[in-house]
Structure 1
Amino acid sequence: MLKPLKPELVHGSRDYYFIKNVISYEIVPVLDIKEAKQAVNVTDMSPMHVQWVKSHPGFGDEIRLAKQFCKASRVYGAESYIRGFSGHVLDILVIHYGGFEQMLKAALKWKDKEVIDPEKYYKNDAMKQLNSSKTESPIIVIDPMMKERNAAAAISYEKLERFREAAKAFLKEPSTEAFKIKNMTKAELKRRAGKDKLFILEAEPASGKEDVVGAKLLKAMEQIRNLLKFHDFIVKEADWEWDKKGKAMFWFIVGADELLPVKMWPGPPLEEKQRVENFKEKYEKTFIEKGRVCTYIKREYIKPEGLVKDVLNDKLLMQKVKKIKILPP
């Protein structure tokens, strides 16, 4: 039946078919089950989730608003390279709070490790009963179909904070602009950077499955950001954008101040006498600071330009991307 459509078999926790046309389709086989405990894979519960949503009529438009808002805010998708809100989670949140705006208002009040339990499976003790591996996300959304599952496990702190910032801005000044998906432009990045230094990089992804390729791109961006921080540069913004088709764009906004040519290098605490002696043998000039032996060492970089240029030749970075280059700002 699918053969004329030339489907692509995609391997995952449950293999599925991808059909690319004017509209792209994913056809995922699932088991016909009546209870969550019969599920072999989480996708087997999808029809049950659809039925749960249908059992709460009247939220269709509110859910669509929530999903479009998250797409425009760049926090939509539970893929490993996005770490945002899945459609499944947004269905649950909108229904639980009674609408799109109600969900945004609630989000501004969420505490760290906020537990959202629409079916009231737990009596304020979810964190004690759930496996610790299920509660690493900033919010915990108990899946209405399976109480042992945190439906929001993929959400990162970074994406939650971005969502909350977008929610706060929208509630303060509602606008249709909040639902428009806009690609990042050089002009906008220049505006954001102001007097700080702006670095824009273009990365050509390696070939492979979308999720794997995306994860490698994310790690490449994080590697550059972390190196800038390691060398004491103030990274005010580090982010990236990828349309899943062509090249990705990384950008970094770094404080404009040039670093001093030397920096303090802390050594072992004074009570560790042998390590202190070793430290003093290694470094000619040392001093005591807050109970530790210290020295001053020459910085490898005092300007971020040199670091960014050098990192493009890093072998570890080139394992994550096919090609990468600096674009003029």
Structure 2
Amino acid sequence: MNYKEILNEIKPTDPEIREVHEIADKSINYINKIAKKENINVEAILVGSIAKGTWLSGNSDIDIFINFPLEADKDYLKEKGLYLGYKCSEYMKGEAEEHYASHPYLTTCIEGYDIDFVPCYKIINANQLKSAVDRTVLHTKYIQTHLKDEKQKDEVLLLKKFMNEIGTYGSEFKVGGFAGYLCEMLILRYNTFEKTLKAASNWKNKTVIDLENYKTNKLFKDPLIAIDPTDKNRNVGAALTKQRMSEFIIASRNYLDSEDDKKIKFFHIIDKKPQCKNMFKQFKDRDTKTLTLSFDIPDVPADSLHPQLKKTQQSISEKLEDNDFSVFKSDYWTDEENKAIFIFELNVYKQNKYYIHEGPKIWDKKACDQFIASHCEDYYIIEDMLVLNKERHYTTAKKFIKNVLTQENIHIIKVGKNLNDLLINTCELNKIKKLLKKEKIQENNGFLNFLDDFLNPGQLLKR
């Protein structure tokens, strides 16, 4: 297949490249100038996909790392790193906001471009690592050294674009997909986009990518083991979930089996245009009952928010199952600014009034005597077990969830550390029909696309 047309769409134009590098260079020069003037021993450098020349057009986040010497105190690094970031943002007329990873960093928007100012330690190899972000400089240098061929950079762009459109690109928790660095490693391993897909279509569990032949793969148990060429004790594929790896494998097979006119579609967004009316028909046709739980979210970074939401949603789902409310599917969505919504699609929504409470086997006389003493004449026998009928506390899933989300009972579920009070005080429990009637929901394309994927999973993997 001829990829010229696709590359024309996804490669940054010369004016775009010039503009991005001008902003980056201006920011770096200013930071280094101020640091020298104020006797702060640092060096600001450009890292990430822009520095490596592997960024997609329109996706030009600028990563500037402020390198401190290894002997610098951590508190000093944080204080001066943020200070220099704020000074540069002010000079460039940006709007700065602090974020936290292994330590604080600054994000600012300058002339329409997002820039991250990240303090780090200047290391030569992984043995000197003092914080998780330090190795980013090593990654950038490795790719700059080994991925010099412009044609290979084009292959990286094709792979990133393909992964993005099938929903497997991005190593952050909410995606659990392939990091940009991992994409670059795959091209170094397999040479081209198509050869990468051909290899992936035959991947097995625990496939190994070992560019430097370190042979440390036995240290890892992940589905894809991509040994970091700058650190033999790290798996670059650690954040890749089995789900996303599987989706990439199936999408690769589908792509390779497609005619060229269908292949092109894999590089473009599926314009689904979901409508609430049609969605409710689909839910109704499934003959299930679906509950939604909407609530306000805390002001925490997305990387902290998503694991908390996932943990809480899964715990509620598990407790529903424990109480005989069979869950067909459940998931969560958030706009990462104001709201989150849990969704629980149930095979069993309503229970009868009683359930069978199991007691001891009749062979254990002492246990049987105690059971009978506690329950008087209500017991009976099923095969060799004493049982009795007990009244349920909750006969519907809605009653169960409402009862759990109270100050007295929320301890029953595992809740993300920042969600407890917001779940109790701001939650709104609705059946799916009522939620879909809300005007704000009808206008929220992000949530409607999420619901469409919930109802029709796997559609991104085929065209």
How far apart in 2 are the matches of 1:91 and 1:271? Answer: 65
How far apart in 2 are the matches of 1:23 and 1:76? Answer: 21
**What amino acid is aligned across from residue 209 of structure 2 in structure 1?**
I
How far apart in 1 are the matches of 2:362 and 2:180? Answer: 55
100, 108, 114: which one pairs with 1:11? Answer: 100
64, 79, 90: which one pairs with 2:183? Answer: 90
1:176 paired residue number: 265
Confirm or deny: 8 A CA contact 1:10 1:16 kept in the other structure: yes
135, 149, 155: which one pairs with 2:234? Answer: 149
341, 344, 350: which one pairs with 1:252? Answer: 344
Count of residues in correspondence between the two structures = 320
Confirm or deny: 8 A CA contact 2:357 2:390 kept in the other structure: yes
1:1-329 correspondence to structure 2 within 5 Å:
1=31, 2-4=88-90, 5-20=94-109, 22-54=112-144, 55-56=146-147, 57=149, 58-122=151-215, 126-127=217-218, 130=219, 134-135=220-221, 137-164=222-249, 166-167=251-252, 170-171=255-256, 174=263, 176=265, 179-180=268-269, 186=276, 189-190=279-280, 193=283, 194-195=285-286, 196-255=288-347, 259=351, 261-266=353-358, 278-279=370-371, 281-282=373-374, 284-287=378-381, 297-313=390-406, 315=410, 319=420, 321=422, 323-325=426-428, 326=430, 328-329=435-436
2:60 paired residue number: none
Confirm or deny: 8 A CA contact 1:6 1:19 kept in the other structure: yes
Relative to structure 1, is the Cα distance of residues 34 and 301 closer, same or farther in structure 2, using a 3 angstrom cutoff?
Answer: same
Larger radius of gyration: 2
Match of 1:30, SS?
strand
CA deviation string 1:137-174 (max 9, x = no partner) = 33322112111111222233444445455555555554
**What amino acid is aligned across from residue 34 of structure 1 in structure 2?**
I
How far apart in 2 are the matches of 1:50 and 1:172? Answer: 35
TM-score by length of 1: 0.76
Percent identical among aligned pairs is 25
Runs of at least 5 residues in structure 2 that lack an aligned partner in the other structure: 1-30, 32-87, 437-463
How far apart in 2 are the matches of 1:280 and 1:162? Answer: 55
Q: Which has the higher contact order (CA 8 A, sep 6+)?
A: 1
Match of 2:119, SS?
coil
Quote the offset at 1:16 in angstroms: 1.7
Quote the offset at 1:319 in angstroms: 0.8
Cα root mean square deviation, aligned: 3.8
More helix by share: 2
TM-score by length of 2: 0.57
Confirm or deny: 8 A CA contact 1:203 1:321 kept in the other structure: yes
Match of 1:149, SS?
strand
**What amino acid is aligned across from residue 50 of structure 1 in structure 2?**
T
How far apart in 1 are the matches of 2:257 and 2:374? Answer: 58
Quote the offset at 1:45 in angstroms: 1.9
How far apart in 2 are the matches of 1:260 and 1:104? Answer: 52
2:452 paired residue number: none
CA deviation string 1:49-89 (max 9, x = no partner) = 22333313333333334434444444443334544332233
